[in-house]
Every structure is written in structure tokens, then in C-alpha cells.
Amino acid sequence: MSSYRTHSNKRGIMAFDYMEQRRIMGNFATGVTIITTRHEEKLQGMTANAVASLSLNPPLVLVSVDNKAHMNNCLKGSKCFAINILTMEQKELSIRFAKHGPKDFSDIEYRTEATGSPIFDLALAYVDCQVTNILPGGDHDIFIGEIVAGGMQEGNPLVFYNGAYGSFCI
């Protein structure tokens, strides 16, 4: 087992090494999603695995977005998003939407529901959300969304573990 290194931050408190945090948290297998929205009449999206179900009553989810990411401003402006949970066949979409720059939706079959955010027809599952709150979280903002629509279909999820894609089949 590797050692856990710390260093002093601006407040003199021992801060954990962020690269070590990345290595450790890489051992937490997650599902893979693409967060989408429509902002200023343009479709926007990004790959994300920092998402979670937050509350059942009211139905809330959260997504964490880097403060420097273009998507951060898009979500603040649109005040809505969809979480598209990907299938194992959608690895290439995940890679495409993880890259910086404009995203190409031209070959993706999608629809919109309550918020106007793109919902991928072939996604394993989705939730369509209105932003209810934005909280600071270090170098990220945490967008809390109330689910206003959702659905799912049969398939196997795409997962991310230790820097690599995989799947989980039952």
C-alpha cells in the first residue's frame, strides 16, 4: 500500500496531495454519464462520473462540474440539464464528450422532454432536471437538480475504474 502524503496549504493546515487523491478515488468504480443542456440555442454536453442521487423526496440529483469548464457557465445560464447514463456500447461517445471544445451532436439520435436538454435515445437511463441550487465545492461547482422526467431501458452500463472503461453485466 502506498503512503498518503500531505503538504501545508495557505491556512497552514495539512492538505492531502491531489494526485494521490486521484489515484485513490480511481479505485472507486463509477457509472459513466453525459450531462447535456441547451444554452443560447446550442446543444452542450460533457462526460461526467461525479454524479449522484441526492434525495428521493424531493427527487434530487447532483453533478459536479469544474469551475473552468465551459459547461459550468452553460449550466448556470440554462438552469437545466439531463443526465444520460451510458451503455457499454457508448464508450466512444464518452471519449468524444470528455474532450475540450465544441461537441458534435450531429450523429446522435436524441429527443427533448421537460427542460429542452438533449436526451440520448440509446442511453441506458436518463433524468431531466431543473437546477435548484449551485454550491461551491473547491475547484468545482455542485449543481443540484430536481428531476422532472426520467426513464430507462434494458442494457449493460458503461463503467470507469482505475483510468479505464469497462462494463458490468449480470
Q: Domain ranges in the chain?
A: 30-167
14 pLDDT exceeds 80?
no
Query: What is the rounded distance in angstroms from the CA atom of residue 99 to the CA atom of residue 159?
Result: 18
How far the first Cα of the chain sits from its last, in Å, is 31
Query: What is the rounded distance in angstroms from the CA atom of residue 76 to the CA atom of residue 79?
Result: 5
Q: What per-residue confidence (pLDDT) applies to 92?
A: 96
Q: What per-residue confidence (pLDDT) applies to 46?
A: 98
Residue type, 137: G
Q: Lowest-confidence range among 1-10, 86-95, 129-138, 139-148?
A: 1-10
9 pLDDT exceeds 90?
no
Q: How confident is the model at residue 31 (pLDDT cuts 50, 70, 90)?
A: very high
* 12 vs 111, residue with greater confidence: 111
55 pLDDT exceeds 70?
yes
**Angle CA 161–19–47, to nearest 5:** 45
Query: What is the rounded distance in angstroms from the CA atom of residue 116 to the CA atom of residue 20?
Result: 39
Give the CATH number of domain 30-167: 2.30.110.10
Q: How confident is the model at residue 101 (pLDDT cuts 50, 70, 90)?
A: confident
Residue type, 105: F
Nearest to 48 by CA among 98, 119, 121, 110: 98
Strand 110-111 versus strand 42-48 pairing type: unpaired
Q: What per-residue confidence (pLDDT) applies to 85?
A: 98
Contact call for residues 165 and 159 (beta carbons, < 8 A): yes
Q: What per-residue confidence (pLDDT) applies to 40?
A: 94
